Each structure stands twice: as structure tokens, then as C-alpha cells.
């Protein structure tokens, strides 16, 4: 390799590292603004409507907005590139935060819900960032790269919900509704994410794609139809890992605060349990990435399923009057999800050309966030009709088919093909 070629590789490597940390920062800012809005959404909807009935609507619409963003932005990215797609998605999120802020100021529930849905585009963009980062590295490093970008959400998970009180105090001092301060913070943080993307997300990440995949793109082979791509066994297993982990986590996590409150636990204990859960969801993402690169996606998905099953059983069996076991269960619930999320995402980067990956990944995230919204709604209905313990048992039941699919797929890979 010539000295000029070596210099080019060095420059490209520096650009790749900068873009990974840019995507980490976008994830941190975007998740901070998004989670601040999600935290305030329940309170804002109930306050505007004068009833607790629509309290879950903002969260549901923002989750559906995330799902829509994943599908629509992936189509845009195939046509225009990763950078324009992310800038459009985050920009829509900024606009959504402003619309939700207007909804709070004029006490309009439709505006609040519309803004919440559009703000979900910022979250969808940040989530797609993990695939943008993975594109730039060879297969042996993709999971670690995905884990680094997902790790950025730890910042938002810690800071976002904590913004409600201080932002409310500032808004009140200015003569505005308290929750208007939270949505102003949402606009500010998502806006900072957009500014970081605009300044530092360059060159176009597709230009820095891993050389082996870039070479395949040059071949100009016709891209397979989306339906054919989704039917590939590797894609099916990745979809199952991502969607099943999301559903099991949402089923149990959504109703845990209400379960604790109903058995006499105060906000302090509820906060500790949820903090443990968030810690499990995001803080160990780099570890999940390294384990996946070391042992492969199939094994780590299997470990994630096992941890999810154990956490679901612990949550179902935890004595309602005691919180210790539930703290451990919710931490493991988050960590099991994270293992499946990182390993499943890495699996979607295999055996697909760049354009194909982008299309399939958008469908995958759309599926994940749609099932998340459905699971959140179903969780309350199940507890109302049965009990909290039923959620854990149902979670185990949902994991069994996905685990069976994973095992069957791994066995099929071990069977030598006929010549």
C-alpha cells in the first residue's frame, strides 16, 4: 500500500471515529429531550383534559412517531444518504417539540398529541444512528460500535426525566405553565442534537462504509425486493430478537410503578426500581457490544433471552411488600433487553448490501416501536383483568417461540449443504 493510500486510510479512520462519537452525542441530546417530553406527557395530557384517562396518549403517540420515523427515514436515506435523513428526522423532532409546547401553552390536547408524535422522529433518528455507525466498520467491530452509540441514551435516561422539576420552576418564574418549561427543554436539547449533526456528521457516512460492502455496491447487482429480504432467515431471527425483547420488557416495565404504588411503596422506592431498570437498559451497552463481537450475535441473543426469562420469573414471584427482588428483576430486565437489542441490531448488518440493510433496518425499528406501543397498552389491560404476576409469566411464554426459532436457525447453519 502506498504512502498516499495509507494517509487516506488514516484520514478515513479518524473521520469514522469522529462520526461514531457524533452519533453518540446526538443520541445523548436527542434522548434527553425526548425522555423529558415523555416524562411530562402524562402529566400534561391529564392536566389539559382534567382527567387521568388520556394520560398515556402522549407516550403512545411519541412511540408511534418513533416507529414511523424509522420506516420513512430509511426510505429517504436510501435515496439521499444517511446525513440528510438524520437531519430531516431530528429537524421534525425539533418542530414536534415546539408544537407540543404550543399545546401546553394553549391547553390543546390535539396539539400536544401531534407534537408528541412528531417529537418521536428525533428518537427514531437517534435509534437509526446505531446502524449508521455500524455501516462504517467491518463485521468484527460492528456490535461494539452499535453498543457505543446506544450507550449515549444513558445520558438522556438519567437527565431527561430529572429536567421536569427545574424546567418547571423556570417556566413558573416566567409566568408560564410549569410543564411548558419541560417542552422548552425538549426543543433545546433536540435542537442541540440537530446542530451537532449538521456541523460534525460529515462526510456522508455512506462514503466511509466498510470497504468490503462498498465493493459489493460497486458491482451494481440488482437489489432484492423488500419482501424477499425480510424472508431471509437471518433477518427473521434478528426481527424476532428485537421485537420479542421489546415486548417482554414493555409488558413488565410499564406496570411496575403502578404495581409498587398499589402495595404501599413511595416515590423513592419506585424511583430506585426504575433507575435500576434504566441502568440495565443502557449503561452496559459497550459490554453488550464487545460480547457480541467476541461470541457472535446468536449466542448473545440466547443469553439475552435467558436473562429476560429469569427477570420475568423474578418479577412474577417477587413479594409485593418487598422491593429488593424487584430491583434486581428490573435491572436484569433492562440488561437482557440490551443484549438482545445490540446483538439483534448487529445481526441485521450481515449478508446485506448497504441499501438493503438500510431498508430492512428501517422496517425492523418500525416493528420494534410499534410492538412497544402495543405492549404498553396491553400491559395495563392484562393487569386490570388478572394480576402483575401474569405479565412475567406471559413474558416467559412469549420468549419460548423466539428461542425455538433461534435454536432452529443455529442448527440449520450447522448442517452442511449438499454439493
Q: Summarize pLDDT for 23-46 with one digit per residue, the tens.
A: 999 999 999 999 888 878 878 888
How far out from the chain centre does Cα 75 lie? 19
Specify burial of residue 296 (Cβ count, 10 A radius: 0-12, 13-18, 19+). middle
Distance (Å, whole) CA 160 – CA 278: 12
Whole-model pTM: value is 0.87
Residue 165: the pLDDT is 83
| Fold topology of 225-414 | Growth Hormone; Chain: A; (1.20.1250)
> Could you state, in chain order, the average pLDDT of each consecutive group of 10 residues for the chain (419 residues)?
52 90 95 87 84 76 91 92 96 97 95 95 93 91 94 87 85 92 94 97 89 50 77 93 94 83 77 84 94 96 97 92 89 96 93 85 91 84 88 95 95 61
Encode pLDDT of 271-300 as tens digits: 788 788 888 999 999 999 999 999 999 999
Cα Rg, the chain, nearest whole Å: 21
- Helix and strand numbers (H, E) in the chain are 17, 0
pLDDT given for residue 52 in this prediction: 66
Distance from the Cα of residue 283 to its chain's centroid: 14
| Nearest residue to 323 (alpha-carbon basis) of 270, 251, 398, 374 | 270
Q: Which pLDDT does position 223 carry in this prediction?
A: 66
pLDDT for the residue numbered 205? 93
Nearest residue to 123 (alpha-carbon basis) of 206, 35, 243, 11: 35
Ordered by start, the domain boundaries in the chain are 13-221, 225-414
pLDDT at 271: 74
| Cβ neighbours of 304 (radius 10 Å) | 27
CA distance to 264, 299, 310, 346, per residue, from 292 (Å) = 41, 8, 20, 8
> pLDDT tens, 225-234?
888 888 899 9
CATH fold of 13-221: Growth Hormone; Chain: A; (1.20.1250)
Amino acid at each position: 500500500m502506498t504512502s498516499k493510500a495509507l494517509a487516506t486510510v488514516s484520514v478515513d479512520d479518524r473521520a469514522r471515529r469522529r462520526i461514531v462519537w457524533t452519533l453518540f452525542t446526538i443520541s445523548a441530546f436527542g434522548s434527553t429531550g425526548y425522555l423529558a417530553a415523555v416524562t411530562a406527557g402524562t402529566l400534561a395530557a391529564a392536566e389539559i383534559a382534567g382527567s387521568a384517562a388520556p394520560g398515556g396518549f402522549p407516550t403512545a403517540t411519541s412511540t408511534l412517531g418513533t416507529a414511523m420515523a424509522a420506516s420513512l427515514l430509511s426510505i429517504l436515506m436510501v435515496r439521499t444518504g444517511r446525513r440528510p435523513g438524520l437531519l430531516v428526522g431530528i429537524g421534525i423532532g425539533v418542530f414536534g417539540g415546539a408544537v407540543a409546547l404550543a399545546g401546553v401553552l394553549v391547553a390543546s390536547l390535539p396539539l400536544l398529541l401531534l407534537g408528541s408524535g412528531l417529537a418521536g422522529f428525533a428518537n427514531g433518528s437517534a435509534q437509526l444512528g446505531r446502524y449508521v455507525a455500524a455501516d462504517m466498520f467491518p463485521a468484527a467491530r460492528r456490535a461494539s460500535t452499535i453498543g457505543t452509540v446506544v450507550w449515549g441514551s444513558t445520558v438522556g435516561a438519567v437527565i431527561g426525566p430529572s429536567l421536569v422539576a427545574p424546567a418547571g420552576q423556570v417556566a413558573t418564574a416566567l409566568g408560564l405553565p410549569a410543564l411548558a418549561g419541560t417542552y422548552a427543554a425538549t426543543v433545546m436539547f433536540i435542537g442541540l442534537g440537530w446542530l451537532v449533526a449538521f456541523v460534525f456528521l460529515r462526510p456522508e457516512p455512506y462514503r466511509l462504509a466498510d470497504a468490503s460492502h462498498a465493493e459489493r455496491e460497486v458491482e451494481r447487482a440488482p437489489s432484492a425486493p423488500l419482501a424477499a429480504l425480510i424472508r431471509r432467515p437471518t433477518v427473521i431471527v434478528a426481527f424476532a430478537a428485537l421485537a420479542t425483547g421489546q415486548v417482554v420488557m414493555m409488558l413488565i416495565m410499564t406496570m411496575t410503578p403502578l404495581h409498587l404504588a398499589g402495595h404501599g411503596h413511595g416515590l423513592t422506592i419506585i424511583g430506585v426500581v426504575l433507575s435500576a431498570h434504566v441502568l440495565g437498559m443502557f449503561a452496559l451497552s459497550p459490554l453488550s457490544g464487545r460480547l457480541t463481537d467476541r461470541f457472535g450475535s446468536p449466542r448473545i441473543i440466547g443469553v439475552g433471552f435467558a436473562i429476560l426469562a429469569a427477570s420475568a420469573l423474578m418479577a412474577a414471584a417477587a413479594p409485593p411488600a418487598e422491593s429488593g427482588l424487584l430491583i434486581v428483576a428490573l435491572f436484569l430486565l433492562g440488561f437482557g433487553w440490551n443484549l438482545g437489542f445490540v446483538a439483534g441490531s448487529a445481526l441485521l448488518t450481515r449478508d446485506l448490501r448497504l441499501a438493503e440493510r438500510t431498508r430492512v433496518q428501517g422496517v425492523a425499528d418500525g416493528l420494534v416501536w410499534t410492538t412497544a406501543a402495543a405492549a404498553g397498552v396491553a400491559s395495563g389491560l392484562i393487569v386490570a383483568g388478572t394480576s402483575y404476576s401474569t405479565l412475567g409469566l406471559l413474558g416467559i411464554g412469549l420468549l419460548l417461540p423466539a428461542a425455538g426459532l433461534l435454536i432452529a436457525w443455529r442448527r440449520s447453519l450447522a448442517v452442511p449443504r449438499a454439493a
